[in-house]
Chain A
C-alpha cells in the first residue's frame, strides 16, 4: 500500500510544472458561452458571435472604435459617400486595394453590392428587415457603389456600418462556400479566421495586408468558457487576458480587487422594460397599467443592481440614442397613488398579473425585485419561470400578459420604437417582431419620423411618440444594464473605449500589450 501511494505521488510530481503563459503578441479572450454559433455576420445575433466577427469584418462605414454614437461614423471600406437632396440615392466610393482574407482578391463595389443583397435576403440573413427599404444596390464601376432607396431612411448610414447586416462579405468566398461560409468567414478586417476547435476556441491571425496597417498583435485566441467561475479563475491565473464578466455588481466589486486588472462597464446599456399587454384583462384598463408604473421604484432597482453597472431608464428608448427624449415624462414612484388607482379600477383587494419569465440569472433577480415592489401596492406578480428558449417562444406566442424584455438596438430611436411599439410588429402577426404590448398609439409619429429628412422635425416626431407610449403605459422602462468586461492593465486597446455595438471591445490594428 505504501508503495502504491509512493508511486502515485511520484507520478503526480512529474506533472508539477507551472501552467503555460501566453506571449505578449497573442490576445486570449474568454467568452461566456459553450461554443460558437453560426459565424456568419449576416446571421449572428448573440453577443459571443457578434463580438468575434467584428475582428474579421468591416462595413462601408464604421462607428469610431470604442464609440456607439452614430455621430462618430467615419469611413471604413468606403472612403467617401454622398446622398442626393431627396435622400434616396447614395453613392459610395470604395477604397482601392483592399484585399479579402486568404487570397480571395480585391474588395470592390461588386462585393459591396453582393453583400448588401445577401443581407437583404431573408434566406441568408437575420437582418433582412433592416434592408427592406433598399430598392437597388449596384456597382457603377469597380470602386463606385450606388444604392437607391424606396423612401428616405432615418440614419441610413447606420445600416451600412460595421454591425449586423452592414458587415461586408467577399463575394467570391461567400458564393464558393455557400453554407460553409459560417465555418470559415472571409472578410477584410484586421484579423483573419484561422482555426476553430469545437467547444474550445476560434483562433484568428493578424491580416498583415490590412488596409489600415498590419496589426500589432499576431493572434487572437477567442476561448469559449461558459462557467463564470472558471473564466474568473483562468483570468486570475493569467491564462486569459480579457474576459466577459458575470453581469452583476458583485462580480465588479470582486474583480476590482485583483491586482493589474481593469474592470469596465461599457455601452450600450440594455434597457429592461415591462411590456403590458393593453388588450388583456385586467391590463386593458389604463388605471391598472398606471398603477404598475407608479409602483416601480427605479432608484431602488438601480441601487439593487449596482450603480457602477446599471442606471435608471430615461424613456421607452434607451438613453443616448439618436432621438431619445432624455427628459421623457416617466411616472414617478408613488405607491399610494398606485393603490388608489387600483381601487378606482375596481381592485381594492389587489390584482394578480401573470408573467412568463426566463431563469437567466440577472433577469430573474430583477423580476423578483419588481415583484416585491409591486406587492407593496397590492399588485401580485405571478412569475412563471421557464428556461430561456421556452421563454422566447412563449412570449412570442402572446402567452404572457406582462413581458420583461432586456435589449439594446442600433442607437437610433426608430429601431427601438419600430420593433417594440409599432403596431406592425405586434407578436402573433405575420410582420411580428417584438411588440409584446400590442401598442398602437404612436404609429403615426414613429412612421412620420422614419421618412422625415429634416432632423429637427424628426426629433419632434420621436419625442411625441415616446410621450404617447409612456402616457398609454404600453411599457414601463426600468433600468439599463451595462456590459461588464475585465482585462489586464498591460493591454492597450489603442483607442478610448466608451462602448461597442458589437457588445465586445473592438480589437484594432493598434491594440497591443505594453509589456
Chain B
C-alpha cells in the first residue's frame, strides 16, 4: 500500500510539472497582451510598457519560466495580474461552489443512474429497458446548457419555483433553492452516463455462473441482484463515476454561466480572455491536482469494493 502510494504520488508530480510547463509555454505563445487588456483601449504605449515592467512581462521568457518554477516550488502562486488578489484566494473563493455542485450532481447521478441501470438490466429487452435506454441516450446527447435554459424557462419563469440566479447562500432553504436546477441539469447528464454503465456491468454479472448457483440455492432474487450482481459490477461503476467527477468539474463552466453561479469554470474562462497568466497557471495546477487525486481515490476505492484487489 505504501509503495503503491509513493509511486502514484511521484507520478502525480511528473504530471503536474508537465502540465505546468505546457500551460506556461502555450500562454506565452498565444497572442494578446495582459497589460494592454488591463489598461484598456485608450491607454498609451508608455503606460502599457510601464505595466509590463511591473508585471515582469518585459523579462525574457526563460527568465520568467525560471522564476515561475521557483515560486511554484515554494508553493507561491503569485497574484492575479488582473485583480491583484492572490491566486490562491481567487481560487479558494469559488472552489467550494464548484466542489459542492459537482458532488451534488454526482450524487444525483448515482442515485438515479444505478437503480435505473439495474432495473433496465433485470428487465432486459422489455419495454422498461427500452424506455430507460432511450432516455439515457437522449440525456447523453442533449447539451447540458440547452437543458439548463429549458429548466430555467419551465421552473423559474413559468412555474416560479426556483430563482434564475442560482447563487444564494445562508439558510438551508436558500441553498436547496439555488442548488436544485444546476444540480439537476448536470446530474441528469451524469445519470444518463451512469445508467448505461450500470446496465451493461450488471448484465455481464447476471450471466455469471455464481448468479445461477445463488438462484438455484433459493436466494431471493432481490438479494441476488443487489448484493451478488451489483456487488460484482461495482468496479466499472466506481471507475466511471470517479472519472465523471473530474469531467463534471471541468464541464461545469456552462452550467455556472447559465445559472449565474460562481465557480472555477468561470474563473478559468475569464482568466483566459484577460490573459491572466498567473491565475491560469495556478488554476491549471489545481485542476491537474484534482484529476490526479480523483483517479487515485477511485483506485483506492477498488480495494474496498473488491477484496481481490491488492496494492502492490
Contact = CB atoms under 8 A, between A and B. Distances in A.
Interface of A: 1, 4, 12, 14-20, 34-38, 43-46, 122-123, 125-129, 164, 179-180, 182-183, 197-200, 223-227, 229-230, 233-234, 236-237, 239-240, 386-390, 392-394, 396, 407, 409, 419, 429-434
7 contacts: A17-B161, A127-B42, A234-B260, A393-B32, A393-B36, A430-B45, A431-B45
A230 to B, nearest CB: 5
Contacts of B119: 1
B50 A122 contact: yes
Given A16-B161, A233-B164, A4 B42 contact: no
A239 B164 contact: yes
Interface residues of B, number: 60
Q: Is the interface of A mostly helix, strand, loop or mixed?
A: loop
Given A198-B94, A223-B260, 20 more contacts: A16-B161, A18-B161, A37-B82, A122-B47, A123-B50, A123-B54, A126-B40, A126-B43, A128-B46, A183-B84, A199-B262, A225-B165, A230-B257, A234-B164, A237-B160, A239-B163, A392-B32, A392-B41, A393-B36, A396-B36
B196 interface: no
B262 A392 contact: no
Contacts of A179: 84
B177 interface: yes
Please indicate which of the listed interface residues A19, A36, A240 has the most CB atoms of chain B within 10 Å of its own CB.
A19
B257 A227 contact: yes
B21 to A, nearest CB: 22
B33 A223 contact: no
B44 A199 contact: no
B156 interface: yes
B25 interface: no
Interface in B287-310: none
Interface string B248-264: 00000000011111110
Interface stretch (B60-68, B99-107, B235-243, B267-275): B267-275
Interface string B76-113: 00000011110000100110000000000000000100
Given A37-B82, A230-B257, A393-B33, A419 B163 contact: no
A226 B31 contact: no
B180 A390 contact: no
B180 A233 contact: no
B176 interface: yes
B260 A122 contact: no
B72 interface: no
A126 B152 contact: no
A15 B274 contact: no
Contacts of B93: 198
A17 B47 contact: no
Nearest to A356: B31
Interface string B23-36: 00000001111001
